[in-house]
Structure 1
Amino acid sequence: MTSPAPSKFSKFLAARLSPDGEFGLYLTAGVALLLAAAWIFGAIAEAVMGAAQITVIDVQISQWFNAHAVAWLTGVMVVVTHAHSVAGIVALTALLALYFYRKQARFWLLTLLVAMPGVMVLNVLLKYLFVRARPSFETPILDLQLSSYSFPSGHTATATVLYGLLGAYLVCRTPKWGARAAIALGAALMVALVALSRIYLGAHYPSDVLAAMAESCGWLAVCMTASSHLRRRLDAANHQGGLS
C-alpha cells in the first residue's frame, strides 16, 4: 500500500524548515525573528507614545537609580557607557572587523560593515520619529548635557548588534552546546550591562533600552539573513559551475 503524496503545503513547509537551500531554515528563522522584534518594538513604542503604565514604571525605576547611586558603581557605569559611545563603538567595530578579516570570515565582515552603520542611521531616524524627551532629575548623577532624543537608546542598539553578531559568529564555530550557551549568555550580559549603564546614569528610561534591543535584533536578523542568502547563492553558483 503506497503512502499518499505530500500536499503542496507540506512540501512548502518542509522546504522552509530544511537547513539546505536558499529559502530554507535560515531564511525562515530570520523572518520569524524580524517579525517578533518588530512586534515587540511596536508594542513598546505604542505604550510609550500612549503614556501607558510603562511610562510610570519608567519614571519610578529611573528615580530609584538616581536616589540609590553609589560612587564606585557610578565609576563603573561611566566606563561602560563611554566605551560604547559613538567613538568607542567605532573602535570596537574596527577591532571586530580586523578579527573577521584575519579569520577570512568575509561574509561576517560584510554583515558587520552593513549592520553597524545601518543601525546607527536607523536609530537616529527613530529618535526623530518619536521625539521622546530624556529623563530629568532634580539632582542628576552626572551632567550629561545630551541634545538628542531618548527613544530608543543608541548605545544599547549598537551594542546589541555588535555583541549579537560576535556571539552568533562564535556560536557557529563552537561544536559543544554548553560552550554555545555560555557564549550566548556572555553576549546577552554585555548588552544588558550597556543598557543598565544608560538607565543608571539617567540617560534613558528602561523602555528606551528595551525598544533598542528589539530594534537591533530585527535589523540584525535582516542583515544576517541577507548575508546568509547571498553566501548560499554564491555557493550554489560555484557548485553548478564546477559541475559544468
Structure 2
Amino acid sequence: MAGRLMKLAFSYLGLSLAIVFGFIFIFLEIASELKEKELEEFDVTVMTYVQRFISSDLTELMLYITMLGSIPWLTASVIGTIVFCFLKKKWRSGLFIAFSSGVGALFNMYLKDLFQRERPDIKPLIEEEGYSFPSGHSMGSFIFYGACAFLVFHFARRWKIKIAGSAALFFIIFMVGLSRVYLGVHYPSDIIGGFSAGGAWLAVCVILFKFYEKKERISQ
C-alpha cells in the first residue's frame, strides 16, 4: 500500500507541476511585458474597441455582471456553498471551496502589491480603488466559479448536466472579465493575468482534491 501511495503522490505532483508551470508561464510573460510597457498598445486597442459599444442598457447589464465577481458577492457565495456542501455531508468539497477561494484571495492581494499597476484612465464608467494587476474580480471569479464547475463535473451523473453546468459557470467567468474592461477599470492584460494566476492556483487545488480522494480509496 505504501508503494502505491508513493507512486500516486509522485504522479499527481508531476501533473500539478506541469499544469501550474503552464499557467505561470503565461502569467510571467504578461508580467514581463507589463514592466516593459509592451502591452500598452494591445490594452488600449482592445479597450477602445470594447467601449465602442457603450450604452445605458449595456452598462446596466455589465454592472450586474461585474457584481458577480465582487468581494461581497464572492464572499457570500463561498460561505453559502460551504454550508451547502456541509449539509450534504460533502466535507471535502466544502473545504476545497474554502481553501481555494480563501488562499486565492490572499494570493491576489500579494500580486497586486507586488506589481502596483495603476488602473486605466480610459473612459472609466465607475470608480475603483486599489491596484489593477492582476484583476481581483477575474482571479476570484476564475477560482470560485471554476471550483464550482469542477464539482459539478465531478459529481453530476448525467453528461448533459456536467457539460451545461460547467459551460455556464465558465461563461460567467468570461463575462465578469469582459465587464471589467467595458467599465474601464481594468486593462485586458489585467484580466488575462487574473485568469492565469487563478487558473494556476485552481489547478493546484483540484489536483490536491483528486489526490486525497484517491488516497482514501487506496487506504480503505
User: Could you state the TM-score of these two structures normalised by the residue count of structure 2?
Assistant: 0.88
Question: Within the alignment, does 1:101 sit opposite 2:83 as a pair?
Answer: no
Q: Which deviates more, 150-159 or 63-72?
A: 63-72
Match of 1:204 among 175, 186, 189: 186
Equivalent runs, 1:226-241 vs 2, <5 Å:
226-237=208-219, 239=220
* Counterpart amino acid of residue 115 in structure 1: S
The answer (yes or no) to whether the contact 1:62–1:135 under 8 Å persists in 2 is no
Report the counterpart of residue 32 of structure 2 in structure 1: 46
Q: Gaps (5+ residues) in structure 1? A: 1-14, 240-244
Q: How many residues are matched?
A: 217
How far 1:123 moved relative to its partner?
Answer: 0.6
Report the counterpart of residue 220 of structure 1 in structure 2: 202
* Counterpart amino acid of residue 88 in structure 1: W
Cα RMSD of the aligned pairs, angstroms, is 2.3
The answer (yes or no) to whether the contact 1:108–1:169 under 8 Å persists in 2 is yes
Report the counterpart of residue 5 of structure 1 in structure 2: none
Q: Deviations over 1:204-241 (max 9, x none)?
A: 0111111111101111111222233233334433x2xx
Structure that is richer in helix per residue: 2
Report the counterpart of residue 8 of structure 1 in structure 2: none
Q: Gaps (5+ residues) in structure 2? A: none
The answer (yes or no) to whether the contact 1:33–1:217 under 8 Å persists in 2 is no
Instruction: Give the structure with higher Rg (CA).
Output: 1
Report the counterpart of residue 128 of structure 1 in structure 2: 113
Distance of 1:232 and 1:117 partners within structure 2? 24
* Counterpart amino acid of residue 124 in structure 2: P
Question: Within the alignment, does 1:30 sit opposite 2:16 as a pair?
Answer: yes
Distance of 1:32 and 1:105 partners within structure 2? 29
Distance of 1:125 and 1:90 partners within structure 2? 18
* Counterpart amino acid of residue 222 in structure 1: V
Indicate how the Cα distance of structure 1 residues 172 and 25 shifts in structure 2: closer, same or farther if over 3 A, else same.
farther
Q: Which deviates more, 184-193 or 71-80?
A: 184-193
Report the counterpart of residue 134 of structure 2 in structure 1: 152
Equivalent runs, 1:159-198 vs 2, <5 Å:
159-198=141-180
Indicate how the Cα distance of structure 1 residues 48 and 25 shifts in structure 2: closer, same or farther if over 3 A, else same.
same
Distance of 1:179 and 1:33 partners within structure 2? 26
The answer (yes or no) to whether the contact 1:123–1:152 under 8 Å persists in 2 is yes
Indicate how the Cα distance of structure 1 residues 30 and 178 shifts in structure 2: closer, same or farther if over 3 A, else same.
farther
Aligned residues with identical type, % of pairs:
25
* Counterpart amino acid of residue 48 in structure 1: L
Distance of 2:19 and 2:168 partners within structure 1? 20
- Helix, strand or coil: the match of 1:202? coil
